[in-house]
Amino acid sequence: MLAGVVLLATACTADPGEPSGEGGAPEAVDALAGFADQELAWDECDSGPSGTECATYEVPLDYEAPGGERIGIAVKRLPASGGDALGSLLVNPGGPGGSGYDFVDHAPHIVSSAVRKRFDVVGFDPRGVGRSSPLTCMDAEGIDEFLGGVDSVEGDGDMSEVTDAEQRELEEDSRDFVEACQANDPELMLHMGTADVARDMDILRALVGDEQLTYLGASYGTHIGAQYAEQFPDRVRALVLDGAMDPSQGQLDLSVQQAAGFETALRAFVEDCLDLPDCPLGGSGDSVDDGVDALSGFLADTAEEPLSNSMDDREVNRARAELGVLAALYTENWWPRVREGLTAGMEDGDGTVLMQLADDLYNRGEPAAYENSTAALIAVNCSDSPSPRDVQAYADAAAEAGEESPIFGPTLAWGALPCAYWPEEAVAPSAELDGEGADPVMVVGTTRDSATPYAWSEALAEQLDSGFLVTRDGDGHTGYRMGDQCVDETVDAYLIDLAVPEDGMACV
């Protein structure tokens, strides 16, 4: 998140068929069953570490019309390192818009050596993402402008106090984005929801020859897993949902709630910074509130006088500086970089490091990936749950989010505005996912998670009939393979031996 011998897989041993408990016209069922007749022609990958193998398979664009247009799904696997494999472990890094295909390249880091020995690690780019019939809305220049924030001369870039002119600009930019998606691929944008991704994943489960699914999903990947448990409960072997989303919430509500997670992470970062001799936000005698105030003042200054950027001609305005700080809150590993970026910005007016952090967050290093990951992020978010069509609801949400997180909250709320213009026929209803009938499902929550607040993991574990929560007390986004031996051992034992700890287990 971001080569080998040629193999030809036999046809699947389990039929993807219809979701459990759902009916369907006989011809539709027959058409879906035909997808089980595919073969995965594993071949040497064009990228990735030695030993990885790649293939493609096809799924219906529209599961309501499975005999119609098909789209291709790109898949990569790294075979198990041991001789006693249990099957495949399907993985997804989140996003939406993250590449599961590329995620496999990091297998030594994303799973333990014990898991690597027992499972083929398999990742796929979800429909509309990366190498899987990608949805593209704007080019890189258009996305730069879209993410660069409002530029009305009447405002100062502070999203908590949006002027009438700034609001009109936000509305126009959001409509332009949706219209660009409609112009480029009007059919695909109607079928980007996570429920369809889960069905695509069930076809892949069957094609790799597993009767039941073993899966590790991080962040947005937890929503894929929860959808899978809802649709295919009898096909669940083990699901690890790490850094969970709450599928019962609408997109705007999620944005407001996410503000609380980033505020918690920001204050943890500031507290750590103030204990260091080179902290640009103050010293050991200052409070966390003092440090946050220093950051707020700096960001306000960037609205008046943007920072320079040695990479290209983009100005590092308030929106981009905020994104740079926000990006660093995903992991403690990036805290030194944001301190470096803040120091350079405050002392020299140089925003290059903050711009680099913002670019990393949106995968801008490769323009094509940048274009697609942003399009997929918005398309999936807007497809997965209803959003208000009244712009005033976003203004009200921005005010509410600002109470939780004065720096990031209003921006997060306004960032959901494209969903107000998303085609209504593409939007799934909000619903709790209980996965009734599934074997035990593990939810991992981190207490000071920035992007997926801990409360979401608690909520998902409660909603799932067989869900159980494993808590990591720590900072950063997600919990597995983040340095907590207790969490790692608990996850490994569940994946390998299906060992289920006591519900509510805390690792401290």
Catalytic residue among 246, 449, 488, 492: 449
Tokens for 435, please give them: 């996965």
3-state SS assignment for residue 42: strand
CB 249 within 8 A of CB 28: no
Q: In angstroms, what CA-CA distances link 106 with 55, 77, 111, 128?
A: 18, 11, 9, 22
Question: 321 phi and psi, to 5 degrees?
Answer: -65, -40
Rg (Cα) of the chain, in Å, rounded? 22
Residue 227, phi then psi, degrees to nearest 5 = -65, -40
219 is catalytic: yes
Phi, psi of 338 (to 5 degrees): -70, -35
Q: How many CB atoms lie within 10 A of CB 421?
A: 20
C-alpha–C-alpha distance, residues 9 and 32, integer Å: 19
The encoded tokens of residue 478 equal 């997600």
Residue 261 CA to residue 477 CA, distance in Å, equals: 10
Instruction: Give CA–CA dist 412/392, Å, rounded.
Output: 15
* Residues facing residue 120 across a β-bridge: 88
Of the residues 106, 191, 223, 477, only one is catalytic, namely: 477
Asked about 503 being catalytic, the answer comes back as: no
From 174, 219, 255, 383, active-site residue: 219
Other Cβ atoms within 10 Å of 23 Cβ, number: 9
User: Does residue 133 carry a catalytic annotation?
Assistant: no
Q: Which residues are catalytic?
A: 219, 449, 477
